[in-house]
Structure 1
Amino acid sequence: MGFVKEFKEFAMRGNVIDLAVGVIIGGAFGKIVSSLVDDIITPAILTPALTAANLDNLADLKIPGTAIAYGNFLSQVISFLIVAIALFLIIKGVNSLKKKEEAAPTAPPAPSKEEVLLAEIRDLLKAKP
């Protein structure tokens, strides 16, 4: 039973749950970026280059005389760059929010009873002639 209890404690930690959510959202975000590259960026930006090379598809880009197809590689590089930039902007935003929270000044702690009494005694001693 120790193993099951230990595994349950591990699986229910906040970090594991956060990681699972991050992986799921990351997978969905990856599909969105792939669609952006394949359906919007490639046709809009790379179509003139493909037309000049007499190609219809980015996957058809190959080094002449070889089986090296670099079109899909270019597509994946573009996808990676978009994901990296998006994550950078998200992390930058989160860090700026954390800095604002840290920059908020905290109120100094209230003096203890002893300090208040000592201050009163000091003031009384100063008031004596």
Structure 2
Amino acid sequence: MSSTAAAADDRKRKRMISNRESARRSRMRRQKLIGDLIAEKAALEGSIGEANQKLSGAWGRYSALKAENERLRAEKERLAEYAANLNEVLATYGEIEVGGDGVPDFSADQAGFQNPWSDYFGVRSSSAQLVTDCF
């Protein structure tokens, strides 16, 4: 072999070694990138799982609050109807005196009502007197 042929073979061999090293570095970079992507995928799946748990908890709280809100609305309607009925009764029997605490005073004969503790002839017994004195 001539020196030019030996030099060409030497260059060819060096280029082949360089190409192999470059391919090896390329494979290593690709493997590192794949490893990084796998780790990132696992981290993202973990954060998705946490977000799903938070969403599930928030949905449960929303459902509970919605049910409580519906129950309270129904109770509000029921109480409003009850208050309207009471107001109608009070308007019908407007002569009944209402005390400062908002409770009707039935201690005296008002609006044609009779005292339940008086007997038929209007004579009170001593026990009936004691009971009415307590109120």
TM-score (norm 2): 0.36
Structure number having the greater helix percentage = 1
Taking structure 1 as the reference length, the TM-score comes to 0.37
Larger Rg: 2
